[in-house]
Amino acid sequence: MEYRTCKDSVWTGEIPTCEEGREPQISQAGITCPYPSVANSMKLGEAVSVYRVRDSVTIVCSEGFLLTGDEQITCGPDGQWQTQLPQCLPSVEDISCTPPKTQERSTFTVISGLKEVYRPQDSLSFSCINNYHLNGSKTVTCGLDGKWNPPLPNCTQIKCPPLKVENGKTSTNHRRPGSEVIITCYKGHIPKGVSRIVCSPLGRWMGEIPLCVPGTCGVPPFYPNRHLSQSYLTKTNFSLGDRVRYSCGIGYMRVRGTVYSTCVRGNWTPLTLRCERKSCGSAGEIDFGNFVYTGVEFGDTATGVCNEGFQLVGQNVRHCMNDGWDGRVPVCEPVQCVDPPEVINGEMDGNLEPPHIYRTVINYRCRKGKLIGASEIYCTKDGTWSAPPPECKDIKCPYPRVPNARRIGGITQPLVLGDTLTFVCYSGFVMEGPDTVKCGLDGTWMPALPTCNCEYPKCLNVLFTEYKTVEAWMIHNCVTEYNIPIFLFLSFFISELAVT
């Protein structure tokens, strides 16, 4: 037995034993659940002092209360009730939330929802009057437990935090929004920052709270293009009345104002010294070019730019320095091209003597053959020739023979590169291929020569009319020349003779 019970001053059962080799078993005999106390519930059935695992209890609410949760709960193996203990809550008709107190409403305004009795799910919205801050939620709802959720808020007066000024005093202790306070420093001290501050509507001091510091000056301020004299650079603390000297920086010159600043009441007086950039004037003149300026004062630059066809020799950028423009005026020289290439079987005309400067023109012509490419080239602004050199090529094409066709226009010999021919087929013949061809670079006709094919029987009528009185050997020549099958020509020829 896993457990024994004390009954009539005697333990029931026998003492258990533990044997080797068996899996240990977890005893639940000692696990109990606490008494299921549920407010507003009826007394449970038979009174039991101990609730063990798997014991069940049924909860019944008192009259006027409703059960929320499971009616029956069971003691679990972990010593906890399963499920959670239910609640006995009053019926909705009997639940109400306490109205806000009158004195609380005097410090805030109820926006909506105000009534005599507040039932569950009723809501109230709150906002504070001016200069008061709302602590809590703006909206609250009456819950089933008769309590406001979240709790009712309250309004507190907005105030700025107390001011504590070391080595000084304030003009007033008022800390409400809109209150103005003036800070006065004790003798020997000066205010650092503004001496007048105001409490904002959010309860914060507007601006940085000033400090009262000893009446000495720290390091003099830095000013662009105005430098503190060398003798003051290592000093960090200055007494009242001390003054320091400034001078214009490199590349700048004084135009007006004083060079001194004085320590007064812990602050340096404003420096009135005004310095302007030195002017370098013109950077010079460039033949066949010009300067492009960013300005003519200290720090500006002048960039040399040559005209088209010229190239810059020397430093192209000059800088305006403290003593004027650095470097020298650059030079623009004409762009030059290399000697023009010679062409086999060709001749050149033009300015052949070097140097070949920008826009120099060279003309080519052929002593033999035809010119292929540009007949005229010139030196460009980049120092290169405008086109590669041409070629002189002696290219001839074979005499074109197209049976059953004639050429339009005369024909000269020889037929060279670029010559064109146009063909027209005889009546009764149809052309296949282009009617116009051109002598190409490889010495062939481009595109290929056309052919004139017989359009049967039109072409045979033409041939019979032309050849019916000729000798037999002419028949063979006619057939072979016009690409007509011999049996077609003979049959047609005999039939025509019979008719005549």
Tell me if the domain spanning 168-214 has CATH number 2.10.70.10. Answer: yes
Q: Is the peptide bond before 201 cis (omega within 30 degrees of 0)?
A: no
What is the DSSP secondary structure assignment for residue 293, as one 8-state letter?
A: E
User: Which CATH number is 336-393 given?
Assistant: 2.10.70.10
Long-range contacts of 169-178 (CB under 8 A, 24+ apart): 174/199, 175/199, 176/131, 177/131, 177/201, 177/202, 177/203
**What pLDDT, on a 0 to 100 scale, did the predictor assign at position 298?**
94
**Closest-CA residue to 449 (of 396, 399, 384):** 399
The domain over range 396-454 is classified in CATH as 3.30.70.360: no
pLDDT in tens, the chain (500 residues): 455 555 555 565 566 666 655 544 445 668 899 988 888 888 665 667 788 898 888 888 887 777 878 888 999 999 898 888 888 877 666 778 888 875 545 556 666 788 888 888 888 888 888 888 888 898 999 887 788 999 988 888 888 988 888 888 888 888 888 888 988 888 767 777 888 889 988 888 887 888 887 778 889 999 999 999 888 888 888 887 889 999 999 999 999 999 999 988 778 999 999 999 999 999 999 999 999 999 999 999 999 999 999 999 989 999 999 999 999 999 999 999 999 988 988 889 888 888 899 999 999 998 888 888 898 999 999 899 999 989 888 888 888 888 888 888 667 778 878 788 899 998 888 899 998 998 888 888 899 999 998 877 767 666 555 554 444 434 444 444 545 555 555 555 555 545 44
Return the pLDDT at 111.
67
Does the domain formed by 19-90 have CATH 2.10.70.10? Answer: yes
CATH topology for 289-334 is: Complement Module; domain 1 (2.10.70)
pLDDT on residue 20: 59
Could you tell me which of 271, 278, 277, 276 has the C-alpha nearest to residue 223?
Answer: 271
The contacts of residue 172 (CB under 8 Å, 6+ apart) are: 179, 180, 181
Listed in sequence order, the residues at least 6 apart from 341 whose beta carbon sits closer than 8 Å to its beta carbon are 389
One fold for both 19-90 and 93-157? yes
- How many H-runs (helices) and E-runs (strands) does the chain carry? 4, 48
Query: What is the predicted pLDDT for the residue at 259?
Result: 94
DSSP sequence for 87-148: EEEE-GGG--BPPPPHHHHTTEEEEE---S-B-TT-EEEEEEPTTEEEES-SEEEE-TTSSE
455/460 Cα distance (integer angstroms):
9
Query: For residue 388, what are the CA distances in angstroms to 236, 371, 376, 391, 418?
Result: 76, 13, 10, 10, 20
Domain ranges of the chain: 19-90, 93-157, 168-214, 226-277, 289-334, 336-393, 396-454, 458-499
> By the 8 A CB rule, do 114 and 102 touch?
no
What CATH class has 93-157? mainly beta
Show the beta-strand stretches assigned E in 215-308.
226-228, 243-248, 252-256, 260-264, 267-268, 274-277, 289-293, 301-306
Are the C-beta atoms of 198 and 180 separated by less than 8 Å?
A: yes
**Superfamily of domain covering 226-277:** Complement Module, domain 1 (2.10.70.10)
- What the block records as the tokens of 334 is 């004409």
DSSP letter assigned to residue 484: -
Q: How far apart are the first and last CA of the chain?
A: 145
